[in-house]
Every structure is written in structure tokens, then in C-alpha cells.
Amino acid sequence: MSAPTVAKTTVVIATRNRAAELARTLTELRALRPAPAIVVLDNASVDGTVGAAEAFPDVRVVRLPRNLGAAARNLGVALARTPYVAFSDDDSWWAEDALREAERVLDAHPRLGLIAGRTLVGADHRDDPVNELMASSPLGHPPGLPGPLVLGFLACAAIVRREAYLQAAGFSPLLHFGAEERLLSLDMAACGWDLCYVARVRAHHHPSARRPPHAWRRRTEQRNNALIAWMRRPLRRSAAESAGLLRRAARDPRMLLAFAGVVRRLPRALAQRRTLPPEVERRARTLELAHGRK
């Protein structure tokens, strides 16, 4: 009799104050075969989220004393004992065959550090707009890779090679939340790993009603994009990013909060500054020009 198939992937979920959504996600994930290990990092929830997770005895739950944002996932990856780690949000889960397919792709491509999967939104499984952006990536689809090269992804639909993630030091605590995927993409590419969009690896996302306001998310992402520039990009590009944010703040006083956030975090960002290798910088600039960012 052949040995049962064992999952090579651990699913890591960072959550905060979404008990009902998390319970549904864990129910969906536990139905996958082979069953992946699951690690839940609770970002200091004050509702019943921890209890909802602990109701699943085969799920490892880690209570964090404070909200670490996206960087909470780093602890989940550190705890994983599998070569691959799939991220889910507390309102997303993987399709039935997604993890098996991702494992086959990663096994076949040893320099592939990250798979950006196809995100299907809601009960009608509509494509997230990000799917088309990645499918038509201006970075192209080099021979020998399973999909177009990307320098960004949605965390709720990403599977990483654990070795590559750890080499790139994971998600940045400085950013907390917003555009954190962009910095990790740059760092993984700088370490020599490929990142590809693979449409046949699918994730389901049912966005929670408990979400930060859109204006807050926009301010946070623009703040973090400016910080990422100072951490990784040429100084001329970094200054241009911050100057653009300041011009937007002159038109919209609410953006002053984003600019103040950059100023407050800038010393820590500069302490972590290391410019990208020329090829990775070229890819980053190619994407900016393709998306209309001067």
C-alpha cells in the first residue's frame, strides 16, 4: 500500500477581531486534502476571534500581545515545518486543488520563490482586477517559468517558498499594513528569486464587512509606498515619491496624515536602506512606467 500523501504546505493566517469570518475560513481550509497544517496569529483581538480559532483543535493558535499587522505572518512562517507556506486572510481560503498544484509548480521550479495566485471574489467568483494586471505583466513571461513575472501580489492569494521568504526577512514591521507585499516582492527578487502569477492556483476571497475605510487604506498605502522608496529605490526616485505625496496633501489636507507618517518613520526607513540590484530596479521602473507613474 502506498504511503498517504502529506501536504508540503502550511497555511498562515494573521487575524484581528473577525471571529465569524475566521471560523468560516478555517472550516474551508480544514476540508482540503491533503490537510495542510494551519497556524493562526491573533493580532491582539478583543472579541471572540481566539475562541473561534481554538474551537478547531488541529489549528495552532498564537495570541500576540499587540497588533503587529502584516508582520505577524513572520512568526507563522517561522513556526512552519513545511517547505512551502500559503497565506490566507481571515476572509479568504484556497480552492480545493490550489495547494496541490502550487506544490507541483514549486517542486518543478527550484528558483521560484513566490506564486501569486488568481483571486476569485465573492459568491459569484468574479476575478479581482489585480488578476488581469498580473496576467498582462509588462515584465513578460520568460521561457521556463510557470507564468508572467510579477513584483507584487495579494497576500490572501500567495504561496511562498519558506527558504526564499526567510532569506528576504518576510514582511516589514515598519510598514505594519498596506503595500507590504510590494516591499517583500522587491526583497525576494533582490535575493535572486523569481515571482510569478500562476492563474491555475486559485484563492477565494469573501471580503469582510469589518474593513478599514477606503480613505484610510489609501493614505496608508501612499505613506508606505513613500517609505519603500526611501528603503530600496534611488534617492532621486525616493525624493520624487515623497514630493508627490506632499503635492497631494496640498490638495487634500487628509493626506497630510500620510506625509506626517512618512516623516515620523523616515529615520527607521533610512536605517534599513539598501538599494536594489540594477536588474530589479529596472523591473520596478518598468512597472511604474507601465502603470503611469512618472
DSSP 172-228: -TTT-SSSHHHHHHHHHHHTT-EEEEEEEEEEEE---S----HHHHHHHHHHHHHHH
Helix, strand, coil in percent for the chain, rounding step 5: 45, 20, 35
C-alpha span between 244 and 170 (Å, rounded): 28
CB 240 within 8 A of CB 225: no
At 294 the pLDDT is 57
- Whether the link from the prior residue into 34 is cis, omega within 30° of 0, is yes
Element (H, E) at 30: helix 19-30
Going by the DSSP 8-state scheme, the letter that residue 149 receives in this structure is B
C-alpha span between 233 and 228 (Å, rounded): 7
C-alpha span between 285 and 272 (Å, rounded): 21
At 3 the pLDDT is 41
- Encode the chain (294 residues) as per-residue pLDDT tens digits: 344 488 999 999 999 999 999 999 999 999 999 999 999 999 999 999 999 999 999 999 999 999 999 999 999 999 999 999 999 999 999 999 999 999 999 999 999 999 999 999 999 999 999 999 999 999 999 999 999 999 999 999 999 999 999 999 999 999 999 999 999 999 999 999 999 999 999 999 999 988 888 888 999 999 999 999 999 999 999 999 999 999 998 899 889 999 999 999 999 999 999 999 999 999 999 999 998 765
pTM of the model: 0.95
Listed residue (187, 172, 39) closest to 114, CA to CA: 187
At 209 the pLDDT is 87
CB 155 within 8 A of CB 92: no
C-alpha cell at 126: 468574479
Listed residue (235, 237, 257, 236) closest to 246, CA to CA: 257
Q: How many CA atoms lie within 13 A of 91 on its CB side?
A: 16
User: Cell numbers 488581469 correspond to what residue?
Assistant: 132
Cβ of 213: how many Cβ atoms within 10 Å? 8
Name the phi and psi angles at 19, rounded to 5: -60, -50
